[in-house]
Amino acid sequence: MNKIESKAITASIIIATKDRPHDLRECLRSIVNQTELPMEVIIVDSSKDDESYKIILEFRKYFSIKYVKVEHPSSTYQRNIGVKMASGNVIHFLDDDVILNHDYLEKIHEIYRNDLTGAIKGVGGLIIQPIRKGGYNFLNDLFRKIFMLTNDKGDGRLLRSGWASVQYRKNVTNVARTEILQGCCSYRKEVFDEYEFDERLSGLALREDIDFSYRVSRKYELIYTPFAKLYHKKSPAGREDEEVYYQKYFYNHYYLFKKNIKPSVINYLCFIWSDIGSLLAIVFLCLKERNVKPLKGVVRGYLCIFQDFFHCEFKI
């Protein structure tokens, strides 16, 4: 492939937000402190009130801000709207409860600038998660590996089971190719001439980012760089009910497996095996916290799967 001239990066940042004005302020402050400022920030707001709009007024002196209020709270829908509003040639997606390292944008843009062939269409960085109670432990990692569940000690692949294996703890020193970019990442604008986020994954969606990046990776090169870092707080504000969350946890796994994984006996067995592992983990969680909501969500998730699979209707 012939080399092309490296174009100047014009960055649009899209933030889909819902009922997190204080988290949004922290996120915007971290954008202001970047070594490279974006051309624009696009806020697609599905909050119940106008508090988020009041927050963004504080930041209009630093960069252009486009704001739109929508009635339908759905991260996929909100991101698709943001893409249509974006003017930059690189589009970043950020959750409203993240804080960027001061050079996050610079490190992402560095990958695009060094790509003189234009082959790289998406770049994501290292997402640092809050350490769960008890920290990481060998048994939890082993359980996830045995049951082929999502883990962050992998090599950036979508597993046969339909879960993701990301590189966040395994690879903190090397830029690498990946099939998976999680919710906070970036793509060249032209990607959206061919792809959009799947709006069948509604509300807080859950795994819509895995679905989108995997589909793009079938045709284009995606890159993970551990040198672009951000902290994802996982704010409790604006989240869906536990029962709804676990309903989506199981149904979305089924839906994305069916959509993206090639049908075969081995792959179906891997899917079933991973679902057994997920179910065991949920039962343990319910016993530990003396809370049946996650298990109710599992039942509702399986009812949705049966409805889809057998083309019938159950009352959920």
Give per-residue pLDDT as tens, 171-191: 999 999 999 999 999 999 999
Short-list 132, 115, 159, 123, CA closest to 7: 115
- Whether 206 maps to a domain, the answer reads yes
Average pLDDT score over residue span 194-218:
93
Average pLDDT score over residue span 111-132:
93
- 212 band by pLDDT with thresholds 50, 70 and 90: very high
pLDDT beyond 70 at 93:
yes
Is the pTM here over 0.75, yes or no? yes
Asked if residues 15 and 96 have their Cβ atoms less than 8 Å apart, the reply is yes
Mean pLDDT of the chain: 93
Asked if residues 36 and 106 have their Cβ atoms less than 8 Å apart, the reply is yes
Among 232, 250, 277, the domain boundary falls at: 232
- 316 band by pLDDT with thresholds 50, 70 and 90: very low
Nearest-5° angle of CA 178, CA 181, CA 183?
170
Average pLDDT score over residue span 201-223:
93
Phi, psi of 83, deg, nearest 5: -60, -40
- Whether 85 maps to a domain, the answer reads yes
pLDDT beyond 90 at 239:
no
- Whether 161 maps to a domain, the answer reads no
- Whether 24 maps to a domain, the answer reads yes
- Asked whether residue 103 falls in the same domain as residue 71, the answer is yes
- Asked whether residue 215 falls in the same domain as residue 250, the answer is no
* DSSP 8-class letter at 7: P
Q: Which residue has the tokens 């590189």?
A: 167
Domain of residue 290, residue span: 242-308
Query: What is the pLDDT, as a whole number, of residue 236?
Result: 84
| Region of poorest pLDDT, from 70-74, 92-96, 212-216 | 70-74
Report which secondary-structure segment, H or E, holds 164: strand 164-165
According to DSSP H, which parts of 178-314 are helical? 208-217, 242-260, 265-289, 293-310
Cα 65 to its chain centre, rounded Å, is 22
- Whether 159 maps to a domain, the answer reads no
Q: What is the CATH number of the domain that holds 74?
A: 3.90.550.10
Among 232, 261, 277, the domain boundary falls at: 232
pLDDT beyond 90 at 4:
no
Share of the chain above pLDDT 70, in %: 95
Average pLDDT score over residue span 245-271:
96
Query: What is the pLDDT, as a whole number, of residue 313?
Result: 59
- Asked whether residue 270 falls in the same domain as residue 196, the answer is no
| Region of poorest pLDDT, from 166-170, 177-181, 214-218, 233-237 | 233-237
Q: Is 176 helix (H, G, I), strand (E, B) or coil?
A: strand
- 103 band by pLDDT with thresholds 50, 70 and 90: very high
Among 232, 253, 280, the domain boundary falls at: 232
Cα 90 to its chain centre, rounded Å, is 17
pLDDT beyond 60 at 6:
no
- Report the sign of the C-alpha dihedral through residues 210, 98, 196, 242, in that order: positive
- Asked whether residue 191 falls in the same domain as residue 117, the answer is yes
What is the Cα–Cα distance from 225 to 289, expressed in whole angstroms?
A: 37
What is the Cα–Cα distance from 35 to 101, expressed in whole angstroms?
A: 10
Total count of domains within the chain: 2
What is the Cα–Cα distance from 307 to 316, expressed in whole angstroms?
A: 10
Average pLDDT score over residue span 240-251:
93
First to last CA, the chain: 53
Give per-residue pLDDT as tens, 271-299: 999 999 999 999 999 999 999 999 999 99
Q: Which residue has the tokens 């089971």?
A: 161
What is the Cα–Cα distance from 204 to 16, expressed in whole angstroms?
A: 10
- 230 band by pLDDT with thresholds 50, 70 and 90: very high
